[in-house]
Amino acid sequence: MWALWTWLFSFFFILALLLIIGFQLVCLIDLEYDYINPYDSASRINMVILPEFITQGVLCAVLLVTGHWLICLMSLPYLYYNVTSNLDETVNLFHGYVIGTGTEFESAIASKIQIYFALLDKSQEQKK
């Protein structure tokens, strides 16, 4: 029964993380097509950065406590990346980061999506 609850918890947390990343991509696309100004886009993205970090940290902690070591190990590099690089330097327009012009931030978001789909696939394999 605990495996079912762990799987449901992981599924909904990964879904929440994918929705947060989707929101960030929509903000970047709006910025690219000039539907929104850079200040509003940066403030919207900064608003969801901390909930993304918290959600990822709680997901890693739950996976670690429940004994799903492989999935936890797969998500630890992303958690480390969030803590070391993005926690200090969130998307900030006034410190030299111009959103939408570089592909580094967009490729980081694409890699996040790939990691979450891999985690979701692994959790489904463990359920079988």
pTM of the model: 0.68
Quote the percentage of the chain above a pLDDT of 90: 34
Max Cα-Cα span within the chain: 50
Q: Tell me the mean pLDDT in the region 38-57.
A: 90
Residue predicted with more confidence, 56 or 81: 56
Q: What is the pLDDT of residue 77?
A: 85
3-class DSSP assignment, residue 27: helix
Weakest-pLDDT range from 2-11, 70-79, 83-92: 83-92
Label each residue of 53-93 as H, E or C: HHHHHHHHHHHHHHCCHHHHHHHHHHHHHHHHHHCCCCCCH
Indicate the SS3 state at residue 101.
Answer: coil
Q: pLDDT digits over 12-26, tens only?
A: 999 999 999 999 999
